[in-house]
Structure 1
Amino acid sequence: MAVYIVRRLGTMLWTLLLVSALVFWIVNLPPGDFLSNQIAALNASGEAASVAKAEFLMQQYALDAPLWKQYLIWMGFYPGPNGFSGIIQGDLGWSFELDRPVSEVVAEALWMTIALNFFAILFVYTVALPLGAIAAVKANTWIDYLATFVGYIGLATPNFLLALILYHKGAQWFGLPVGGLMGKEFLDQPMSFAKLQDILVHMIVPIIVIGTSGMAAMVRRLRANLLDELSKPYVVTAQAKGVGPVNTVVRYPLRMALNPFVADIGNLLPSLVSGSVLVSLVMGLQTIGPILLAALRSQDYFLSGFILLFVSALTLVGMLVSDLLLAVLDPRIRFSGRRK
């Protein structure tokens, strides 16, 4: 297992390196960039001081260099005007639109995004697994019909519409705070127990909104998978031998039915991040989704490139976690292969 983890980490580094080159090339595909467009606009308006600052930033970050050299400087593999200063050295670049370092722009948003999506995944699995399992065991009963109804409602309701409903009713019926991930009094405050408590309360509605569609889809799939496992001969044999109903379902059939959902963890992380952009805009959440959208619109490619690279890293980490969990869940999986 240790050898497999080391090998996978090496593969992840090479994959992330290739993804970084692809991301940098994609964000530079549109003609021009933020500074070039700004310089053209400032020249037209005659603002010489602002033009000088924009030209300084262009030289400072080697934006007049060839694209391959810009990429190497951005990653920190090639010395730029400030020497070796790139992502691998901790310099994430400069947000030209916001006129701030990228690290300052995304610092709190990254942690908010990770926390929000972690709890959203926890909500999805906590609700979907027991509901889907009970629906399969109690197939064609009122419990199954109720789970099916919940699944259809979750799949048919757009996230942004559910966000608008809970935005109003959550506050009216349950007194839940909506809008943002913390109260205004905590926005510029350092982390404290009161701020953490306020963030957790603010997360309740966004977690339900973001996780509902994934939960509904998982309930339907788990029900179908588990029904298929329960009809197999080994389950019938176990029942004939007098194995208890709980062990008959949980010990093997449920574990086998869970394999696709554990394997989906790697895809679930980035899908939640990208799928929550509209929800974040509607609910005013301080996550990286709205920041990424604004950066892509303004061609602020240091900022957008880092966020896309971060989402790619989340995907790779999620895939590694899912593979390790599959090894624990399913004893038939062997990473080392057959020994000759």
Structure 2
Amino acid sequence: MVRYLGRRLLYGLLLVALISVVAFILIQLPPGDWLTSYVAWMRSQGTQIDDAVIAGLKHQYGLDQSLVSQYFTWVGGILHGDLGFSFSYNKSVSVVILDRLPITLMISLLTIITTYAVAIPIGILSATRQYSFVDYAASFVGFIGLSVPSFLIALILMFLAYRYFGLSVGGLNSPGYIGEPLSWGKFLDTLAHLPLPILVLALSGTAPLIRILRGSLLDELQKPYVDTARAKGMSERTLLWRYPVRIALNPIVSTIGWLIPAVFSGQVIVSIVMGIPDMGPLLYNALIRQDTFLAGSIVLILSVLTIIGTLVSDVALMFLDPRIRLEK
């Protein structure tokens, strides 16, 4: 186990280094840079900027250096705990990310808990009561979640909430609390706005998990060891939870590798549609504005979390299913 973990961590470090290079190159591919876009926007507003001022800004932000020098400056700062400087926000990248992190973690963790708390029981009921009303209802909800885009579901629910319940839609606070300091009233108002985005995000994640767990469990229930256990007099409940459910959960546990980066990043399109100030819109705006160090840092963090999540999935699968071994 120790040798396996050491080898995986070494491969992970090499992969992160490669991803940092690829991410930095991809962000630099569009013509121009953040300063070029900013100067063009200022001139469109009627403000004239001298070439000397532009040259000074380039030197100040290090944009007059070669791409290789900019990359190694960024990576060297990361090794010392500095993610760089955000041009568009005029702040340290670490400060910008930490500002959005609490809301992102709160929404993402609640969404993940809701997704698994709903998907696993429904998936088990759907498989053990095949072709029943529960099975058909779960299949119907699953097909909706798989076929309808999350942002469209968000728009529909936002319209219904405003039209029939008079709830303000968009963002996590009512208009009267926007920009106000944290208070008990604002906290309760935020809690009142949380169910809608959590419902939208959980529905898109619940649908595939229900279908995966149902298919996997149905396959396990038809295997000979289940008939053998029944013939020996084992009760249905004990049989179900001791063997088939544990094995059927393997595909679900393997998705942990996707969940850890999802907790950090959130849902970009849904967050933009619903006006949620989490990490999703932050990454989108950084890419649009060519905020190199901010976008690169977010992509790099997501890559590291994906590698960690994959390792956690592999180890969890080994403990869940004794047939899986990580070493020869």
TM range (shorter): 0.7 to 0.9
1:315 equivalent to 2:315? Answer no
Q: Does residue 111 in structure 1 map to residue 102 in structure 2?
A: yes
1:81 paired residue number: none
In structure 2, how many angstroms separate the alpha carbons of the residues matched to 1:41 and 1:120? 38
Do residues 289 (structure 1) and 275 (structure 2) align? no
Q: Which residue of 2 aligns with 1:64?
A: 64
CA distance in 1, matches of 2:80, 2:320: 38
Contact 1:229 1:257 in 2 (8 A): yes
What does 1:23-172 correspond to in 2, within 5 Å?
Answer: 23-39=23-39, 47-48=48-49, 54-76=54-76, 86-170=77-161
Whole-angstrom CA distance in 1 between matches of 2:58 and 2:320: 52
Q: Is the 8 A contact 1:19 1:309 kept in 2?
A: yes
Q: Distance in 2 between matches of 1:142 and 1:42?
A: 61
**SS of corresponding position for 2:130:** coil
Q: Name structure 1 gaps, 5 residues minimum.
A: 77-85
Deviation at 1:187, TM superposition (A): 4.9
The verdict on how the C-alpha distance between 1:89 and 1:175 changes in structure 2, with shifts beyond 3 A counting, is farther
Q: After alignment, is 315-324 or 174-183 more displaced?
A: 174-183
Q: Distance in 2 between matches of 1:195 and 1:87?
A: 36
2:145 partner letter: G
Once residues 316 and 239 of structure 1 are traced to their aligned partners in structure 2, the CA distance between those partners, rounded to angstroms, is 41
| Alpha-carbon separation, structure 1, partners of 2:261 and 2:306 | 6
1-structure distance, mates of 2:41, 2:125: 62
Give the drift of 1:90. Answer: 3.0
* Structure 2: unaligned runs, 5 residues or longer: none
Cα deviations by residue, 1:19-47 (Å, 9 ceiling, x for unpaired): 11111111001121111344467689673
**More off after superposition, 205-214 vs 3-12:** 3-12
Q: Figure out how many residues of one structure are paired with residues of the other and give that number.
A: 326
User: Structure 1-normalised TM-score?
Assistant: 0.84
Question: Quick check: 2:100–2:278 contact (8 Å CA) kept in 1?
Answer: yes
State the superposition RMSD in angstroms: 2.9
Whether the 8 Å contact between 2:151 and 2:273 is mirrored in structure 1 is yes
How far the C-alpha of 1:8 sits from its partner, in A, is: 3.1
Letter in 2 for 1:212: L
Native 8 Å contact 1:178 1:205 kept in 2: no
The AA in structure 2 aligned to 1:267 is W
TM-score (norm 2): 0.87
CA deviation after TM superposition for structure 1 residue 182, in Å? 4.5
Q: Check 1:42–1:123 CA distance in 2 against 1; reply closer, same or farther (3 A cut).
A: closer
Please tell me the residue identity of whatever aligns with 1:283: M
Query: CA 1:42–1:118 in structure 2 vs 1: closer, same or farther (change >3 Å)?
Result: closer
* Pairing of 1:181-330 with structure 2 (within 5 A): 181-182=172-173, 185=177, 187=179, 189=181, 199-270=190-261, 276-330=267-321
Structure 1 stretch displaced more, 166-175 or 322-331: 166-175
Distance 2:310 2:297 in 1: 20
Residue 270 of structure 1 deviates from its aligned partner by 4.5
Partner of residue 82, structure 1:
none
Q: Which shifted more, 15-24 or 98-107?
A: 98-107
Between the aligned partners of 2:187 and 2:13, the Cα distance in structure 1 is: 33
Alpha-carbon distance, 1:198 to partner:
5.1
Q: 1:53 to 1:210 in 2, by over 3 A?
A: farther
TM-aligned CA distance change 1:53 to 1:182, over 3 Å: farther
Aligned pair 1:18/2:9, yes or no?
no
